[in-house]
Structure formats: C-alpha cells, structure tokens
Amino acid sequence: MSRAYDYVTVGHVTVDVIDRDGSRRPGGGAFYSALQAARLGRRALIFTSGVPAELDELLAPYRGELDVHVTPAPRTTTLVTRGIGAARSQRLLAWAGPIGELPALDTAILHLAPVARETPRRWPGRADFVGVTPQGLVRRWDSDGGEIALVPLDPDLLPQHCDAAVFGSSERASCARLLAPTPAGGPTVAVTGGADPVTVRWPGGQASVAALPVAAPVDDLGAGDVFAAAFFIALRDGSEPARAALLANAAAAVRIAGAGADAVGTTAAIEAVIPSPPAPAPQAP
C-alpha cells in the first residue's frame, strides 16, 4: 500500500557552527538522513522544532527536495563542532527543547533521529518500518555551551518498537542494551566505525562489512546519518543486513568525499562506488 511519504525523520535540524572558520550549516540526523532519502528517490519529510525563520533560511537550498514541518520554539538547537572523526568534539550552545506531539503519520519508514533527547516515544498514525539513531539519547550537557558527553542509554527514551538501529563505535558502550538479544529477537543493529568495518547484528546472525576507502576525505559530518538512511531503506526494500550495510557504506563514502550536505549522494553516485563482485574463477576443462 502506498504511503503519503516514503521516509519521515523526527529530530532537531541544527545550526552546525564549524569551529575552524565560524561557518554555519544545517545539520542534525533528521536533516542529513532525510536529504539522503530524497536523493535516493524517496518522498521525504522532516518533523523538527526551532525558530521557523532561522530554519527556513538554513534549509532554503534544499526545500525543493524535502518537505519540512517546523514546530516553533524560542531557539534552534545549535552545536559547535571541532575536529573530525574520532577527534571530533561538540558543544551545545542552544536547545530547541522536546518535540511535541506529532500529527498522524503515514509513511513507509519512520526514522527517529534525536540530537539531544528531543524525540517522542510514541506517535499517531502508521509507519511500516521504524529506525532509530540513538546518539542523541545518550548525550548529556551541563548547561548551554557545555561540552557534550556520553551516558548509558535510558530505555525509557527509546521508542516502544524499532526494526533497526544505527550508532557509532564511540556510542557502543552507551548503547550496549540494543546489542543484547531479547526473547522477541530485537532490532537489526549496525555499529559504524569510520574507516573500520561495520558490525551488523540481527536476530540469528552477525556480519562484519568493510568500509569503502575514500582517497581524499573532506569532512564526515552527517556520514553516519546518510549511512542510516541508506541502511534503513535497503532493509525496508528487502536487502539482507550485510548487503544493506554495503550500500550504506557506499553512501557514507560519497558523503565523506565532499563538503557538507551538498556532498550527499544520488543513487547513481552511490552505485558508482560499490565494488563489483569478483569474477568467477575459470573452470578447469
């Protein structure tokens, strides 16, 4: 059955301030993941909160690709980012607060993409597949301007149901409960590790999927988010988990090879970096 949207993200679209030059970009998992979904040909919608005029200006270059629903808030969540990869650190300068009650959803994929503990556990309407990137659920900060640190995942912050989850190796200890088997089987989980292989676990199986090399990486903001979008879409479309992780690795590699959201890849760009399967060995006569 067709849905009103193929991919809906819920989470704060952020103002990302880059420490080295003071530039301001749109950011947040809800933004990068929805944009990746759109560039994979999906009808995408973001539910977020913040200052409407500020978000309208930030997202103006992408409004032809995305639909956006903004719940007004006194401030827009703002992060200062320093460094890249494992050396990256962030400070929270402003927080838009929790996202309130959502309107009824009608989507093939719902992606809960919190930045700072803002996403709801429940929603009205229908979502055929639910994915979560829990990074924002394991963050704490002392006050505005405070350095972000990680804490163990509070299960009361998780949605009541999810089909898949993606988080980075730096959050692995905080998100360990998502990797623990349950009587119901649990979600399919991918743990990314930058240039290291991705660990994929699903009920009854596990795989290690090599990351794709990037000759000249530019920056990695949003790389985990585009991985998540491609991963969730591939799973929803019926790919096996290891194959879904390969496709997602390709999306992340394309993103890392360029700067900012403009580097989020199209289907053609992503397919171009997926390695071809090895040719079959010749058979002896």
**pLDDT one-digit tens code per residue, 207-232:** 999 999 898 888 888 999 999 999 99
pLDDT band at 180 (very low <50, low <70, confident <90, very high): confident
Task: Write down the pTM of the prediction.
Answer: 0.92
Give pLDDT tens digits for 34-70: 999 999 999 999 999 999 999 999 999 999 999 999 9
Question: What are the residue boundaries of the structural domains of the chain, listed by start?
Answer: 5-273
Report residue 183's pLDDT band, with 50, 70 and 90 as the boundaries: low
What does CATH list as the number for 5-273?
3.40.1190.20
| Three-state helix/strand/coil letters over the chain | CCCCEEEEEECCCEEEEECCCCCEEEECHHHHHHHHHHHCCCCEEEEEEECHHHHHHHHHHHCCCCEEEEEECCCCCEEEEECCHHHCEEEEEECCCCCCCCCCEEEEEEEECCCCCCCCCCCCEEEEEEEECHHHHCEECCCCCEECEECCCCHHHCCCCCCEEEEEHHHCCCCHHHHCCCCCCCCEEEEEECCEEEEEEECCEEEEECCCCCCCCCCCCCHHHHHHHHHHHHHHCCCCHHHHHHHHHHHHHHHHCCCCHHHCCCHHHHHHHCCCCCCCCCCCC
